[in-house]
């Protein structure tokens, strides 16, 4: 649909499918796929209907290095990565864009649900499908060579228009989960690459409550599958509060202990001008997650974000994306999530 709209607008469009695996059958298919042989065939048929040239570009080696291996390394370090965000950053708007510009193309045009005008990245009109969060890691220079033709219509309208244009993918299910984990078993995928290593599950006092086979199998805020030897004294559920890869320890505790009031982000990327003073705005802490009112300030290379109300289940390694209304200000990678005194609610 993005290609069809771009061609209709008068652009000279070439369709490109990215081959991201040396063994495409190992990637997800059907309702959960996005980069398989099946998807390549769908893309070729769509290009034929639109009337544009079509090519397959092999980026499997780059994808494995910058997305898959990064995913494994982040879990090994006790962080929770977002591979879709990394794919946009390293593949679609770096490797793909660089090759496209070198070949004489002007821009990469994708079907992301986001809006871009005069260099300003904004949320899609379809908030339920908005993808500005996973695009916020791109630089202004990269977005200057990007096009998102679908950000001004809803996903339902995209499907209706695709059907009207005779595109066979009009009813194709959305892709879900992680494309390079074929069976959806992230824990086994990581265990195969990192190896099982038993460690302790402790409470906030350090008392040992149980044992695990690898800290990488846990995420902040997780409640199920903890395999604790006994219930909490008060009978309430316990949640993962911290993951320490150094001593292979998982710390659990009550839900309220997940409350975070301050976030530190590293490697900030600015789509607006970098902050020079504290700025009241909003922050989104995971894809399709809740938006939180906050005050952000840039302290050297660290973005400090103070929340006006606590957020729960904030994981290191995810992106903190700042918004002013529907406009993306910038992003940073969450390096620390702190329980501190919340700002007074001045609303």
Q: Which residues are catalytic?
A: 87, 179
58: number of Cβ within 10 Å? 12
Closest C-alpha among 193, 112, 94 to residue 151: 112
Q: Which residue has the tokens 């992680």?
A: 178
DSSP annotation string for 94-137: IIHHHHHHHTT---EE---SEEEETTEEEE-S-GGG--HHHHTT
- Indicate the SS3 state at residue 109: strand
- Indicate the SS3 state at residue 331: strand
For β-strands 279-284 and 249-253, DSSP reports them as: unpaired
* In contact, 108 and 92? CB cutoff 8 Å: yes
User: Considering just the CA atoms, what is the radius of gyration of the chain in Å?
Assistant: 22
């Amino acid at each position: 649909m993005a290609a069809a709209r771009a061609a209709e607008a008068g652009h000279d469009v070439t369709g490109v499918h990215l081959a991201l695996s040396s063994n495409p059958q190992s990637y997800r298919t059907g309702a959960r796929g996005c980069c398989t042989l099946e998807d390549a065939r769908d893309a070729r048929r769509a290009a034929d209907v639109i009337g544009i040239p079509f090519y397959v570009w092999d980026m499997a080696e780059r994808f494995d290095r910058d997305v898959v291996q990064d995913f494994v390394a982040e879990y090994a370090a006790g962080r929770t990565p977002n591979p879709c965000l990394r794919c946009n950053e390293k593949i679609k708007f770096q490797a793909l864009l660089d090759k496209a510009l070198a070949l004489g193309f002007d821009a990469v045009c994708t079907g992301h649900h986001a809006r871009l005008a005069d260099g300003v990245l904004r949320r899609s009109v379809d908030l339920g499908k908005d993808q500005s969060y996973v695009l916020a890691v791109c630089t202004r220079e990269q977005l200057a060579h990007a096009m998102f033709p679908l950000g001004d219509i809803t996903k339902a309208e995209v499907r209706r228009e695709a059907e009207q244009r005779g595109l066979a993918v009009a009813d194709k299910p959305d892709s879900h989960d992680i494309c390079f984990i074929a069976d959806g078993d992230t824990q086994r995928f990581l265990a195969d690459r990192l190896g099982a290593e038993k460690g302790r599950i402790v409470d906030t006092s350090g008392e040992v409550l149980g044992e695990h086979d690898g800290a990488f199998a846990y995420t902040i805020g997780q409640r199920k599958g903890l395999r604790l030897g006994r219930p909490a004294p008060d009978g309430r559920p316990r949640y993962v509060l911290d993951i320490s890869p150094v001593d292979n320890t998982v710390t659990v505790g009550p839900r309220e202990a997940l409350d975070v009031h301050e976030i530190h982000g590293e490697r900030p990327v600015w789509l607006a001008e970098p902050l020079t003073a504290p700025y009241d705005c909003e922050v989104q802490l995971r894809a399709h997650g809740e938006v939180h009112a906050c005050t952000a300030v840039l302290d050297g290379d660290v973005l400090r974000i103070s929340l006006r109300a606590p957020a729960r289940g904030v994981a290191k390694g995810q992106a903190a994306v700042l918004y002013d209304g529907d406009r993306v200000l910038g992003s940073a990678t969450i390096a620390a999530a702190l329980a501190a005194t919340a700002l007074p609610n001045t609303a």
